Amino acid sequence: MEGCDYRTQCEPVRARFAKLKGREVALSVENLGKVFRAPDGRAVVALKGIDVATHRREFLCVVGPSGCGKSTFVRILAGLETATSGVVRVGGVPVSGPGSDRGMVFQGYTLFPWLTVLRNVAFGLEENGTPRREAEREAGQWLALIGLESFAESYPHQLSGGMKQRVAIARALATRPRILLMDEPFSALDTQSRARMQAYLIEIWKKIDITIVFITHDLDEAIHLADRILVLKAHPGAVAELIEVPVPRPRSHAQALGPEFRATRARLDALIHPPEDEAEAEEAGASTLVTRMTPAGDEVE
- The structural domains of the chain, ordered by start, are 11-101+177-287 (3.40.50.300), 114-176 (no CATH)
Beta strand 102-105 with 228-233 is unpaired
- Whether 211 contacts 56, CB under 8 Å: yes
Amino acid at 284: A
Q: What is the pLDDT of residue 136?
A: 95
Q: What is the mean pLDDT of the chain?
A: 87
- Whether 231 contacts 240, CB under 8 Å: yes
- Whether 167 contacts 156, CB under 8 Å: yes
Q: Mean pLDDT, to the nearest integer, of 136-162?
A: 93
Q: What is the pLDDT of residue 23?
A: 84
Q: Mean pLDDT, to the nearest integer, of 116-133?
A: 94
H-type helices in 81-209, by residue range? Answer: 117-127, 132-145, 161-174, 191-207
Per-residue pLDDT of 88-119, as tens digits, reads: 999 999 999 999 899 999 988 789 999 999 99
Amino acid at 171: R
Whole-number percent of the chain with pLDDT over 90: 70
What does the CA dihedral 131, 134, 139, 142 come to, rounded to 10 degrees?
-140
Q: What is the pLDDT of residue 29?
A: 97
Q: Which of 166, 160, 154, 156 is nearest to 201 (CA)?
A: 166
CA–CA separation, 294 vs 168, rounded Å? 47
